[in-house]
Amino acid sequence: QIATDVDFVNVVFDVASGDSDYTLTLTTPDEYYWRVQAVDNNGLLSSWSDVWMFTRLADTNPPVVELLYPVGGEYLSGEVTILWDATDDFTPNVDLPITIEYRCGGPWQILASDEENDGVYLWDTTGYPDGTIYMIRISTEDYWGNMGSDESYTTFTVDNTAPETTAYLDPATPDGENNWYVSNVRITLVTENMSRFLNPVTISKIAGEGYTMYKIDDGDWQEYFVPFTVIEDGEHTVEYYSVDNAGNEEPVKSVDFK
Protein backbone atom coordinates (compact mmCIF):
# COMPACT_ATOMS: atom_id res chain seq x y z
CA GLN A 1 0.00 0.00 0.00
CA ILE A 2 1.01 3.60 -0.65
CA ALA A 3 -0.64 6.53 1.10
CA THR A 4 -0.13 10.25 1.59
CA ASP A 5 -0.40 9.94 5.37
CA VAL A 6 1.33 7.76 7.92
CA ASP A 7 -1.96 6.30 9.15
CA PHE A 8 -2.89 5.09 5.65
CA VAL A 9 -6.22 6.88 5.60
CA ASN A 10 -5.55 8.37 2.15
CA VAL A 11 -4.40 5.29 0.25
CA VAL A 12 -3.42 6.05 -3.35
CA PHE A 13 -2.22 2.56 -4.32
CA ASP A 14 -3.40 -0.79 -2.98
CA VAL A 15 -2.02 -3.49 -5.24
CA ALA A 16 -1.68 -7.26 -4.90
CA SER A 17 1.35 -8.69 -6.67
CA GLY A 18 3.13 -12.02 -6.71
CA ASP A 19 6.48 -10.32 -7.33
CA SER A 20 8.91 -8.86 -4.84
CA ASP A 21 9.03 -5.54 -6.71
CA TYR A 22 6.46 -3.28 -8.32
CA THR A 23 6.78 -0.27 -10.63
CA LEU A 24 4.27 2.56 -10.54
CA THR A 25 4.02 6.19 -11.62
CA LEU A 26 3.13 8.97 -9.19
CA THR A 27 2.18 12.19 -10.95
CA THR A 28 1.56 14.39 -7.89
CA PRO A 29 4.52 15.78 -5.91
CA ASP A 30 4.05 14.87 -2.23
CA GLU A 31 5.36 12.84 0.71
CA TYR A 32 4.31 9.20 0.41
CA TYR A 33 4.26 6.32 2.90
CA TRP A 34 4.39 2.67 1.95
CA ARG A 35 4.16 -0.77 3.58
CA VAL A 36 3.79 -4.37 2.50
CA GLN A 37 1.89 -7.43 3.68
CA ALA A 38 2.42 -11.06 2.75
CA VAL A 39 -0.19 -13.74 2.06
CA ASP A 40 0.47 -17.49 1.98
CA ASN A 41 -1.02 -20.17 -0.25
CA ASN A 42 -3.88 -20.62 2.20
CA GLY A 43 -4.82 -16.96 2.01
CA LEU A 44 -3.55 -16.15 5.50
CA LEU A 45 -2.26 -12.58 5.86
CA SER A 46 0.82 -11.47 7.74
CA SER A 47 1.03 -8.33 9.79
CA TRP A 48 1.88 -5.13 7.96
CA SER A 49 5.55 -4.35 7.64
CA ASP A 50 7.22 -1.26 9.02
CA VAL A 51 6.26 1.97 7.27
CA TRP A 52 8.73 3.73 4.98
CA MET A 53 8.51 7.22 3.56
CA PHE A 54 9.70 8.84 0.33
CA THR A 55 9.15 12.20 -1.37
CA ARG A 56 8.00 12.66 -4.93
CA LEU A 57 9.60 15.87 -6.15
CA ALA A 58 7.96 18.15 -8.70
CA ASP A 59 9.28 17.95 -12.26
CA THR A 60 9.93 21.38 -13.73
CA ASN A 61 11.96 20.25 -16.72
CA PRO A 62 10.12 20.20 -20.06
CA PRO A 63 10.34 17.22 -22.41
CA VAL A 64 13.17 17.37 -24.92
CA VAL A 65 11.78 17.41 -28.46
CA GLU A 66 13.79 17.33 -31.69
CA LEU A 67 12.21 17.60 -35.13
CA LEU A 68 14.31 15.47 -37.46
CA TYR A 69 12.46 15.97 -40.78
CA PRO A 70 11.52 18.23 -42.46
CA VAL A 71 13.79 20.82 -40.88
CA GLY A 72 13.75 23.38 -43.70
CA GLY A 73 14.96 23.85 -47.24
CA GLU A 74 13.33 20.67 -48.60
CA TYR A 75 11.13 20.35 -51.69
CA LEU A 76 8.30 17.98 -50.77
CA SER A 77 5.45 16.32 -52.62
CA GLY A 78 3.02 13.44 -52.14
CA GLU A 79 3.29 11.51 -48.87
CA VAL A 80 5.98 12.89 -46.56
CA THR A 81 7.30 11.09 -43.47
CA ILE A 82 7.64 13.51 -40.56
CA LEU A 83 10.30 12.34 -38.09
CA TRP A 84 11.00 13.44 -34.51
CA ASP A 85 12.43 12.36 -31.16
CA ALA A 86 10.77 13.23 -27.83
CA THR A 87 11.98 12.21 -24.35
CA ASP A 88 11.35 13.23 -20.74
CA ASP A 89 13.15 12.79 -17.43
CA PHE A 90 10.21 11.22 -15.61
CA THR A 91 7.28 10.68 -17.94
CA PRO A 92 7.75 7.45 -19.95
CA ASN A 93 8.36 8.27 -23.60
CA VAL A 94 5.39 6.15 -24.68
CA ASP A 95 3.13 8.33 -22.50
CA LEU A 96 4.10 11.61 -24.16
CA PRO A 97 1.20 12.69 -26.41
CA ILE A 98 2.43 14.27 -29.63
CA THR A 99 0.85 17.24 -31.39
CA ILE A 100 1.94 17.99 -34.96
CA GLU A 101 1.28 21.42 -36.43
CA TYR A 102 2.04 23.18 -39.70
CA ARG A 103 1.86 26.69 -41.03
CA CYS A 104 2.32 28.37 -44.38
CA GLY A 105 2.85 32.00 -43.53
CA GLY A 106 -0.14 32.19 -41.19
CA PRO A 107 -0.91 30.89 -37.68
CA TRP A 108 -0.09 27.34 -36.64
CA GLN A 109 -2.71 24.77 -37.67
CA ILE A 110 -3.09 21.32 -36.10
CA LEU A 111 -2.11 18.53 -38.45
CA ALA A 112 -2.54 15.75 -35.87
CA SER A 113 -3.03 15.62 -32.10
CA ASP A 114 -2.65 13.00 -29.37
CA GLU A 115 -0.39 10.99 -31.67
CA GLU A 116 1.66 8.09 -30.38
CA ASN A 117 5.25 9.06 -29.62
CA ASP A 118 6.75 6.62 -32.12
CA GLY A 119 8.73 9.28 -33.99
CA VAL A 120 6.92 8.83 -37.31
CA TYR A 121 3.90 10.48 -38.96
CA LEU A 122 2.86 10.13 -42.61
CA TRP A 123 1.65 13.44 -44.05
CA ASP A 124 -0.24 13.46 -47.35
CA THR A 125 0.68 16.86 -48.77
CA THR A 126 -1.61 16.51 -51.79
CA GLY A 127 -4.46 17.89 -49.71
CA TYR A 128 -2.61 21.15 -49.04
CA PRO A 129 -1.90 24.14 -51.30
CA ASP A 130 1.48 24.45 -52.96
CA GLY A 131 3.69 26.95 -51.16
CA THR A 132 7.26 27.90 -50.29
CA ILE A 133 6.90 28.96 -46.65
CA TYR A 134 5.73 25.81 -44.89
CA MET A 135 7.01 24.88 -41.42
CA ILE A 136 6.34 21.94 -39.08
CA ARG A 137 6.22 21.98 -35.27
CA ILE A 138 6.23 19.00 -32.88
CA SER A 139 5.12 19.52 -29.27
CA THR A 140 4.30 17.41 -26.23
CA GLU A 141 3.38 17.77 -22.55
CA ASP A 142 4.56 15.64 -19.64
CA TYR A 143 2.62 14.53 -16.55
CA TRP A 144 3.35 17.80 -14.76
CA GLY A 145 2.22 20.10 -17.57
CA ASN A 146 5.70 20.98 -18.80
CA MET A 147 5.62 21.71 -22.53
CA GLY A 148 8.39 20.90 -24.99
CA SER A 149 8.49 21.60 -28.71
CA ASP A 150 10.69 21.95 -31.76
CA GLU A 151 10.02 23.30 -35.23
CA SER A 152 11.62 23.61 -38.65
CA TYR A 153 14.53 26.03 -38.45
CA THR A 154 13.48 27.56 -41.77
CA THR A 155 10.76 27.12 -44.38
CA PHE A 156 10.36 24.31 -46.89
CA THR A 157 8.40 23.95 -50.13
CA VAL A 158 5.33 21.81 -50.79
CA ASP A 159 4.86 21.34 -54.53
CA ASN A 160 2.50 18.78 -56.05
CA THR A 161 2.25 20.35 -59.50
CA ALA A 162 4.26 18.90 -62.38
CA PRO A 163 6.46 21.24 -64.44
CA GLU A 164 5.55 22.21 -67.99
CA THR A 165 8.17 22.09 -70.72
CA THR A 166 7.88 23.76 -74.12
CA ALA A 167 10.01 23.02 -77.18
CA TYR A 168 10.97 26.04 -79.30
CA LEU A 169 12.18 25.39 -82.84
CA ASP A 170 14.47 27.73 -84.79
CA PRO A 171 13.39 28.48 -87.45
CA ALA A 172 10.00 28.63 -85.77
CA THR A 173 8.22 27.47 -88.94
CA PRO A 174 9.35 25.39 -91.93
CA ASP A 175 11.39 27.45 -94.39
CA GLY A 176 10.92 25.07 -97.33
CA GLU A 177 8.06 23.79 -99.43
CA ASN A 178 5.36 21.39 -98.20
CA ASN A 179 6.20 22.05 -94.52
CA TRP A 180 9.77 20.84 -94.87
CA TYR A 181 12.72 22.55 -93.27
CA VAL A 182 15.61 23.46 -95.51
CA SER A 183 17.69 24.78 -92.62
CA ASN A 184 19.02 22.74 -89.73
CA VAL A 185 16.57 22.86 -86.80
CA ARG A 186 17.80 24.18 -83.45
CA ILE A 187 15.67 23.12 -80.45
CA THR A 188 15.47 24.89 -77.11
CA LEU A 189 13.58 23.30 -74.20
CA VAL A 190 12.21 25.75 -71.65
CA THR A 191 10.58 24.56 -68.43
CA GLU A 192 8.05 26.79 -66.74
CA ASN A 193 7.84 26.84 -62.96
CA MET A 194 10.36 24.12 -62.28
CA SER A 195 9.22 24.32 -58.69
CA ARG A 196 6.13 26.36 -59.53
CA PHE A 197 7.77 29.24 -57.74
CA LEU A 198 10.73 29.98 -60.01
CA ASN A 199 10.79 32.20 -63.05
CA PRO A 200 10.73 30.42 -66.43
CA VAL A 201 14.14 28.90 -66.93
CA THR A 202 16.06 26.53 -69.11
CA ILE A 203 17.05 24.10 -66.39
CA SER A 204 19.77 21.58 -65.88
CA LYS A 205 20.21 18.89 -63.26
CA ILE A 206 22.21 19.97 -60.25
CA ALA A 207 22.29 17.73 -57.18
CA GLY A 208 18.81 17.70 -55.71
CA GLU A 209 17.33 20.02 -58.32
CA GLY A 210 15.05 19.46 -61.28
CA TYR A 211 16.10 18.26 -64.71
CA THR A 212 14.87 17.77 -68.27
CA MET A 213 15.33 14.68 -70.45
CA TYR A 214 14.95 14.35 -74.21
CA LYS A 215 15.56 11.94 -77.06
CA ILE A 216 15.64 12.23 -80.83
CA ASP A 217 13.69 9.60 -82.77
CA ASP A 218 14.72 6.13 -81.55
CA GLY A 219 17.82 7.38 -79.76
CA ASP A 220 18.58 7.10 -76.07
CA TRP A 221 17.20 9.45 -73.46
CA GLN A 222 19.73 12.09 -72.51
CA GLU A 223 19.80 15.01 -70.15
CA TYR A 224 19.16 18.47 -71.54
CA PHE A 225 21.64 21.21 -70.74
CA VAL A 226 21.81 23.52 -73.77
CA PRO A 227 19.94 23.92 -77.07
CA PHE A 228 20.76 21.25 -79.67
CA THR A 229 20.57 21.08 -83.46
CA VAL A 230 19.12 18.33 -85.66
CA ILE A 231 21.00 18.23 -88.95
CA GLU A 232 19.97 14.87 -90.46
CA ASP A 233 17.54 14.85 -93.38
CA GLY A 234 14.16 13.17 -92.98
CA GLU A 235 11.23 13.20 -90.59
CA HIS A 236 12.03 13.52 -86.90
CA THR A 237 10.34 13.30 -83.51
CA VAL A 238 11.85 14.85 -80.40
CA GLU A 239 10.37 13.63 -77.10
CA TYR A 240 10.99 15.40 -73.79
CA TYR A 241 9.84 15.75 -70.19
CA SER A 242 10.94 17.42 -66.95
CA VAL A 243 11.09 16.49 -63.27
CA ASP A 244 11.02 19.31 -60.71
CA ASN A 245 12.80 19.74 -57.39
CA ALA A 246 9.97 18.04 -55.51
CA GLY A 247 10.00 14.98 -57.78
CA ASN A 248 6.88 15.83 -59.79
CA GLU A 249 7.27 14.32 -63.26
CA GLU A 250 5.74 15.79 -66.37
CA PRO A 251 4.13 13.47 -68.94
CA VAL A 252 6.28 12.92 -72.03
CA LYS A 253 5.66 15.47 -74.79
CA SER A 254 6.86 15.45 -78.38
CA VAL A 255 7.35 17.69 -81.38
CA ASP A 256 7.50 16.48 -84.99
CA PHE A 257 9.21 18.14 -87.94
CA LYS A 258 10.78 17.23 -91.27
When pLDDT is averaged across residues 240-251 and rounded to a whole number, the result is: 89
What is residue 209's predicted lDDT score, i.e. its pLDDT? Answer: 67
Does the pLDDT of residue 206 top 60, yes or no? no
Q: Please say whether the beta carbons of 30 and 3 come within 8 A.
A: no
Q: How far apart are CA 143 and CA 183, in angstroms?
A: 78
Does the pLDDT of residue 65 top 80, yes or no? yes
What's the CATH class of domain 64-158?
A: mainly beta
When pLDDT is averaged across residues 66-88 and rounded to a whole number, the result is: 95
Q: Please say whether the beta carbons of 67 and 79 come within 8 A.
A: no
What is residue 196's predicted lDDT score, i.e. its pLDDT? Answer: 43
What is residue 193's predicted lDDT score, i.e. its pLDDT? Answer: 61
When pLDDT is averaged across residues 144-159 and rounded to a whole number, the result is: 94
Does the pLDDT of residue 82 top 60, yes or no? yes
For the chain, the domains span 1-58, 64-158, 164-257
Nearest to 47 by CA among 39, 55, 56, 57: 39
Any residues with CB less than 8 A from the CB of 145 and at least 6 apart, and which?
none
Distances from the Cα of 189 to the Cα of 62, 97, 186, angstroms: 54, 50, 10
Continuous segment of H or E residues that includes residue 216: strand 211-216
Question: What's the fold here for domain 164-257?
Answer: Immunoglobulin-like (2.60.40)
9 or 17, higher pLDDT: 9
121 or 195, higher pLDDT: 121
Minimum mean pLDDT among 40-54, 119-133, 189-203: which range? 189-203
Continuous segment of H or E residues that includes residue 148: strand 147-151
Does the pLDDT of residue 246 top 60, yes or no? yes
Q: How far apart are CA 242 and CA 167, in angstroms?
A: 12
Report the chain's mean pLDDT, rounded to a whole number. Answer: 88
What is residue 224's predicted lDDT score, i.e. its pLDDT? Answer: 92
Minimum mean pLDDT among 74-88, 129-143, 160-174, 183-197: which range? 183-197
Does the pLDDT of residue 185 top 60, yes or no? yes
> Three-state SS for 203?
coil
Dihedral over alpha carbons 197, 200, 206, 209 (to 10 degrees):
30
Q: How far apart are CA 258 and CA 143, in angstroms?
A: 75
